[in-house]
Amino acid sequence: MVGTATVSMASVGVHIGRVEGCAASRTDDVLAVEEPLEIRLGDRSLSITMRTPGNDFELAAGFLRSEGLISDAGQILSMGRPDDGSTDVVVLELEGEPRAFAQPQRNFVMTSACGVCGKASLQDLAVNVCPILPPDDIRLSPDIIHGLPDALRKAQSVFDSTGGLHAAARFSLEGELESLREDVGRHNAVDKLVGAALLGWRMPMSRSLLLVSGRAGFELVQKALVSGIPVMAAVGAPSSLAVATAEPSGMTLIGFLRNGRFNVYTGSHRILGL
């Protein structure tokens, strides 16, 4: 049974049974919160996603940017809650008619584990053509890359209490943590991070490193590229489609960043020594 005392917007206390060997006991635990968020454009529903509450406006803005529905924060005329005050809905007014409504069959109903479930067909996967990153002079020491996971882990406050959240973090080229967002959905965590940069007028993120706490799938690489991020690292493995997407776009994609080692799958010219 869920406890009545909420630890934070992102976590909740529960009463559980625990068994260690043959010894049973009752105790308390903390879980990551997963609740629906509806994103509306005016009076029309665009997306329903399962997310961890918090940074909802950033999530909505980042989602619109990642899906190619807006290019900068100036296109958002207003953003707020509905008249009934619901905290599970974000209502936006945009400049002009977004492209999403030109295709009525396309919907964005997603689970917390899905970044492309809202696509109505395989053709929709190509609707946001990933940009080719411009040439840059970025050269990174392996020591900077090695230090990213520890910095991420130390800043994951909700993960420490629940163990159930993904994280996305933006670092400077010197390895300094600049922004961190957590969510039950790995794509939501990235959208929140992108939304924070968008609303803060820090786009494109062409001098930033992105670290994600899990694997690197296609949808995360796509979101990073749309935001202009040249280097993306993951604690886990990349997928074949993630590598195939990063390579022609000029992104440096790093996987298995842990325990003092990492693999560079694309864009090795940005890593000193390779």
The CA-to-CA distance between both ends of the chain, in Å, stands at: 54
Residues 113-140 have pLDDT tens digits of: 444 444 444 455 554 468 899 999 999 9
Look at residue 248 and tell me if it is in a domain. yes
Per the CB < 8 A criterion, the answer to whether 209 and 233 are in contact is yes
Residue 212: give its domain's CATH number.
3.40.140.10
Q: Span 34-59, mean pLDDT?
A: 94
Asked whether residue 6 is assigned to any structural domain, the reply reads yes
Domain residues for the domain of 222 are 142-270
Q: How does residue 217 score in pLDDT terms, banded at 50, 70 and 90?
A: very high
Catalytically active residues, by annotation: 114
* Domain assignment present for 131: no
55 Cβ contact partners less than 8 Å away, ≥ 6 residues apart: 181, 192, 195, 196
Are 119 and 212 part of one and the same domain?
Answer: no
Poorest-pLDDT segment among 29-33, 79-83, 227-231, 257-261: 29-33
- Final residue before a domain boundary, out of 79, 101, 126: 126
Same domain, residue pair 207 and 251: yes
Question: Would you say residue 55 lies in a domain?
Answer: yes
Q: Is the dihedral of CA 155, 159, 160, 161 positive or negative?
A: positive
Q: Residue 137 falls within a domain, yes or no?
A: no
Q: How far apart are CA 7 and CA 17, in angstroms?
A: 19
Work out the average pLDDT over 237-266: 96
| Structure-model confidence comparison of residues 115 and 148, the more confident one | 148
Domain tally, the chain: 3
Instruction: For residues 255 and 191, state if they share a domain.
Output: yes
For residues 4-11, give the mean pLDDT.
Answer: 54
One domain, residues 59 and 23: no
The reply to whether 136 falls in a domain is no
What pTM, to 2 d.p., does this model score?
0.85
pLDDT of 133 reads 96
Residue 133 belongs to some domain of the structure: no
250-264 residue pLDDT tens: 999 999 999 999 999
Within this chain, do residues 66 and 164 fall inside the same structural domain, yes or no? no
- For residue 177, the surrounding DSSP H or E stretch is strand 177-183
Say whether both 49 and 153 belong to one domain.
Answer: no
CATH of the domain at 102: 3.10.20.10
